[in-house]
Chain A
Amino acid sequence: MALIHEDNERSKTFTRRALLVGGGQALLFSTLAARMYYLQVVESDRYTMLAEDNRINLRLLPPPRGRIVDRQGVPVAENQQNYRVVLVREQALDVMQTLTKLAQIIELPDYEAQRVLREVGRKRAFVPVTVRDYLTWEDVSRIEVNAPDLPGVSIEVGQTRSYPYSDQMTHVLGYVSAVSEAELTGDPLLELPGFRIGKQGIEKQYDAPLRGIAGSSQLEVNAVGRTIRELSRDEGRPGEDLVLTIDAALQTFTYGRLQAERSASAVVMDVHTGDVLALASAPGYDPSLFNVGLSNETWNALIKDPLVPLTNKAIAGQYAPGSTYKMMVALAALEAGIGPDFQAFCPGFLHLGNARFHCWKKGGHGTVDMYQATQHSCDVYYYELSKRVGIDRMSDMARRFGLGAAVGIDLPGERAGLIPTREWKLANMGEPWQAGETLISAIGQGFVLATPLQLAVMTARLANGGKAVVPRLTRRSDAASPAAGETAEPVEAGFADMGIPAAHMRVVQTGMDLVTNNPRGTAYGARIAEPGWEMAGKTGTSQVRRITMAERAAGVTKNEDLPWRRRDHALFVSYAPVQKPRYACAVIVEHGGGGSKVAAPIARDILIETQRRDPAGSPPIALVGDQLSKRG
């Protein structure tokens, strides 16, 4: 009896508790269902995105950089194929053995083999490891021939920028180099290892068009990163090719001529179109140093060099223009109503108050008019002119000729120079203008500063009859030049007339003609004798230090007697041919001494070479579409 009763009680308890357990299970299963709903419905979008992130790997395809060619289509910056041998562990049967075999075929130092082994061990089996970079063709063909014995070894092709003209063209082209931390813009292309951007010169100025637009490849990858398949591919757009106005051969000639001096620069331009035909600064440097990556010693040597090879002196070197500035004073005087027949007596000096201002010629020039004063570069005559014209009118004329402000060439790093005025001095130095400073300015000394490029532009504007020509290195419509895009014809009509009467221009031009072509001119020794190629010019010698009274008394006035760093800068501005001006050239030789002896012969040689080649006779080649030709 007890047993049955007991069993009933037991069974009732069991039933109750079993149902309780069943209820509990139902509750917990509901939790699972609720969680499933949360993950798969509520949060589904977020997880779908995460799954896609997992699955899809976006690989950037860097666009090939555009080539740069000179006006005749000669490549001056191109992409060289660079072959490297890579090893894929999972395809190599025995890495060690493969490396040993490879070392028998190409040069492979032991430490390099060790590095490869380490990298192979660290990376995933399917990731290629670079064994050696920059292979020669010979190495490549040897590896290809032995391919059956080298499982897992393959040749990959990369691209490196190469500059066939090296330091001759470096200040125009600049260089490309690895992207620095500060240059990251968030564009993932810049973060690609090995990607290069323009850091200087044309490479920097036109970096965007040269760079092109990155393509991309959407890859499906698995958890360890192995590519399963390509989902889609966007080829992007290769960088545009660029045609320079530079004539590479003339550039080479110019640079070679400058290199003979310690530190010099020169600009040759077309006076009508503004095409810069040569723009050189010596010494230069090898731009590919920056591409591969340069050592600390090389870098330190470059930045500590007193000849500042890294600076493009043609656009960033600021010099007192010396007597080359006298044309500005003459034009200001003509505009002020002083005729070319205005005469002044030069005893070799001029007194202003207690100060004595010397002429470069000790005994003086006697009585000279404007033509003679230019021909002989008489300082006293220009002192007299400046006293009558005043600093502000002189400076105004200079500014109209492109001095005192960046002329807007399409190169980074152009300096503005300096053309002083009364307000400028008061604002910047807190002192009123001194009458003596006007005299000093009249001979291009004192505060006056100009770059070789500005002097070339000034000369071009003198030569073309007063058109505000602007220099340019490309004929792209997006260049700084306001000229109409790709025009074959001279575009002087496109440049504004500066409103200077032709008669005034003729006075100055005649003066400059006398400088080189009159036997008594200061640069007659450097004249161009070839008929029809004659040049007109103006010498300039700019003091880098004031000759002290003590030195003058001691007779130390000769440059040759001074240490190099204290010698005068030699300048020469010129254009040719005299009868039908086409080319302007400005040359500055740092601490070169006299303009007539040092700078003028260089300008002569350059202008002869220029006219011999006559690059303006054939305009820069035109692009077909964006590209010169199909690149391989």
Chain B
Amino acid sequence: MIKNLAGTDLDVNEEGYLTNMNQWTEGVAAAIAAEEGVGPLVEGHWRVIRYLREQQSKGAALTIRGMGKSGVVTTKELYDLFPGGPLKKSSKIAGIPKPVGCI
């Protein structure tokens, strides 16, 4: 389905996650963050977002440990930056798929 955010038409799935990470812009990130009650986005958020997008484009499976040990941010800071759901919210704002189990 299509959703209009930050003046752009975006392909999203039924939970609002971007299905094409190339449609992502910083403006899109800010708009999703506002919807999720996160932010305003500061340098800490952007570091996480850039790391997630980098890992995703490498095809690596994303883990909270990966983030915690990446030196980008500690797990505790991640919860502070994206309260309530550090993985699902940061992924959504970074324009990458939601971290999921198999079902």
Chain A complexes with chain B: no
On A, residues with C-beta under 8 Å from B are: none
Interface residues of B (CB under 8 A from A): none
